[in-house]
Structure 1
Amino acid sequence: MVTNFPFIIQADFLLASSRETILLDNKWNQGILDCVPSAFVSVFILLVKSSEDAPVSSLSRIFGFIPVNSSPYPALSAVRETIKAKLVDENIVPCESYLEQKIFQKPPEVGRLMPPFWDILKKARKEGLGLHNLSSHGRHVLSSSLDRENYDQVLNFLGVRHVEDEWYAKCIPGSNLILGVSEELYLELLLFLAEKWRSNFLNTNIIYIPLLKYASLNGDVSLYSVNEVRRNVGKVLASREPDYTSWLIDWNREFRYSGGRFFVPS
């Protein structure tokens, strides 16, 4: 009997005379099926919590036992839905913490990130930027080991959604991703925002965060927001000839930023 479940229900079911099918309308069999969700969830939690000393990536095999596919039998579909209802109310989803201790939260409390932003975070981490407060921007962040396309089915089944676009407006300044990373990574961040601007960030508070670097009169790196540039508070310019950037910054300082024009740092 094909259940479409990734695990075997081993019990003393009453079978049809052909011994090929379980009598799903039988009270004895129904009683067994009623016990399956609690038994499954108990074992699942035990496996997740007993793996606290193991890498998060090792949890992927455990999450593979979650019955994400529907069953052709209504009685078994009901079992699947009950398992889902119980799982979403348990602290079973690993979060990215950058700490030795693993943190688990309920599925609806955890959010996924866009893959290009994960790349930026991983590079920032390699550069030495501390990201311990990543989950302090209004949503716990799913562990990068599970935030992958091949886990989409499981994550969708549990109700783990992507973080709101507004989350990025809190994370970028809160994690010091503008001034705390290399120029190469800063430009990668700008490219990410530019590519997602119309689809995700146009109507968010990202337009108000200090984001665009420019060289001030003292030669220091200062920041304008997109909103300030829109309102002509200042203009940030980039030279088409990179070799002339330092020269332009020096002359701009001499002429006292005529017209509120500043150049990106060299």
Structure 2
Amino acid sequence: MASYDHRLSGAAAAPAVERAAVRISGLTRSFGDRHVLDDVDLTIGHGEFTALLGRSGSGKSTLLRAVAGLDHGAAGSGEILVPARVSLVFQDSRLLPWLRILDNVVLGLPGRDARERGRAALDEVGLVGREAAWPHELSGGEQQRAALARSLVGAPDLLLADEPFGSLDALTRIRMHRLLRRLYEAHRPAVLLVTHDVDEAVTLADRVLVLDEGRFVQELRIDLPAGRDPGDPRFQHYRTTLLGALGVLPAHRTKEQS
């Protein structure tokens, strides 16, 4: 079982839960007079892919940053329990421009076999042969592939992704969706994905949560076969329900609604 890291503010530590990769209880966050998260509870199971949707300012990135331990400057309380091995991927690749691609992927990775593992990770994302390239020599999609390789090379128990495909064109984004889902199925970390894209959430996640004004207002379990065809009536049902929860379409209540 993975070791766990307790990140606490105003709450007593709780024992690790074997079936939970993430356990959040009573989480509040505010910046000055603005309350962003309001007594949020969330559990993510081992190997579960969860997507978090919400309008701008709903608190979704604040929640992800709190889980990552990066919400410096925010006031609040609550308990966050996460595994020791956590990895992050962001909207921009954040590759260091003075390091070649393989060196970016294995930066900070311990062990004598780090470079071998880095090459294997690059092979998994379709960048075999680009180990010696500089970041500026890669396209935007290739840079995000390298970022995914870097995020998974250390075999994390939890992958946090903050709109990782938001800056890509539509066709590249579709290819990256397929790649991320394939990598997830191969490695099975727990995943928390923050996105504005309803189709992206339904395509990738096993569970989708909608956050509004600091509270969860919708939860959907996504039950679709491999490949997740957007033309499937069930895909369109999930899409319509989530758009309703986001206020884009009239609300459509389902059994899964929280």
Q: TM-score, normalised by structure 2?
A: 0.31
The structure with the largest strand share of the pair is 2
Q: TM-score, normalised by structure 1?
A: 0.30
The structure with the largest helix share of the pair is 1
Please identify the structure whose Cα radius of gyration is greater. Answer: 1
- Identify which of structures 1 and 2 has the higher relative contact order when contacts are C-alpha pairs closer than 8 Å and 6+ apart: 2
